[in-house]
Amino acid sequence: MTNSLRLRFMMKMRLDFFSHVLLMLMGLALCESCVSQQEYAANYARGPRFKALVVYDRHAEPAHVEFDKQAIDFFRKLTYGEGFKMDVATSLSGFSFESLREYSVIVMLNAVPSSKEERALFRRYMENGGGWIGFHASAYNDKNTKWPWFNEFLGCGTFYCNNWPPQCALAVCDNRKHAVTRNLPKHFVLPPSEFYQWSPSPRHNKHVKVLLSLSSKNYPFGIKDVVKFGDFPIVWTNKDYRMIYLNMGHGDEEFIDANQNLLITNAFRWIVSCDPKGNPFLK
């Protein structure tokens, strides 16, 4: 074969190869468009996907009840279109284990199970795959609480200190790969709240994943009661349970910020999506 013949042969081979690749790519593109025409992106529920129980304490301090009422409105708006069934209660008394386990999630708004029976019921619910979102004083405990399991469940110690009065604060996302925080900015300013520190901090618990903290740039933090230093986790999950705790929940200005509202919706959706009975959003 002469040099020019060899060159022409090689060019033809290369052209054949490229036309094959081009045809394959066109075929793949056609398949993609077939799939996207067949499968619509949204999945519309035909009925409520799950049940949620919202619990608040009507005898809590007035600023907590203000938050609770706004939170109930917030979650009720999430039910528009009957996406889920929501019940509201002022305690867990009156529920049996069977009736409680129908709920994919219990949202505790500044409320803590207090009687021996309620504590036992709540523990049984959580140890059997129950879901919990706690706000603010729903994790409050001190030396008088005398419920060691509750600290194991929360992943932190007793109440240590707080800022006063309620004020805005710079938050830092500790983990932006998590479903609850991945669509939030690294830093954002939270609406006015009273924030609690705990001793020991949940950060020291190997079962805990901290998702959001107050930045040390906030120090000195407060006007009357001033927090001057310390690690300040405010949103975390204890991986041993289907739970998430959010420290905000004081006063009537908590639902004025899009980032915080998104965080709360994400937390609610994530807890429900991890239900061992199945992820209701895939139905």
Closer Cβ to Zn ion, 194 or 275, answer by number: 194
Q: Minimum CB separation from Zn ion for residue 211, in Å? A: 21
C-alpha to C-alpha distance for 65 and 46, rounded to whole angstroms: 34
Q: Minimum CB separation from Zn ion for residue 54, in Å? A: 18
Closer Cβ to Zn ion, 57 or 275, answer by number: 57
Determine contact, residues 51/84, Cβ cutoff 8 Å: yes
Determine contact, residues 271/131, Cβ cutoff 8 Å: yes
Determine contact, residues 250/166, Cβ cutoff 8 Å: yes
Binding site for Zn ion (CB under 5 A): 194, 250
Q: Helix count (H) and strand count (E) of the chain?
A: 6, 11
Assign 178 to helix, strand or coil: coil
Alpha carbon 87 to its chain centroid, in Å, reads 20
Closer Cβ to Zn ion, 69 or 85, answer by number: 69
Q: Minimum CB separation from Zn ion for residue 225, in Å? A: 12
Determine contact, residues 80/251, Cβ cutoff 8 Å: no
Would you list the DSSP string of 73-108?
HHHHHHTTTTSSEEEEES-STT--HHHHTT-SEEEE
Tell me which long-range contacts 219-222 makes (C-beta under 8 A, separation of at least 24): 221/163, 221/167, 221/169, 221/195, 222/163, 222/164, 222/165, 222/167
Closer Cβ to Zn ion, 232 or 270, answer by number: 232
Give the start-end residues of each E strand in 46-202.
51-56, 85-89, 105-109, 131-135, 158-162, 167-173, 187-193, 196-199
Closer Cβ to Zn ion, 152 or 257, answer by number: 257
Q: Minimum CB separation from Zn ion for residue 61, in Å? A: 7
Q: Minimum CB separation from Zn ion for residue 162, in Å? A: 7
Q: Minimum CB separation from Zn ion for residue 137, in Å? A: 6
Closer Cβ to Zn ion, 95 or 195, answer by number: 195
Q: Minimum CB separation from Zn ion for residue 194, in Å? A: 4
Report the residue closest to Zn ion, judged by CB: 250
The torsion defined by the Cα of 145, 151, 264 and 119, in degrees rounded to 10, comes to: -60
Closer Cβ to Zn ion, 52 or 111, answer by number: 111
C-alpha to C-alpha distance for 76 and 117, rounded to whole angstroms: 28
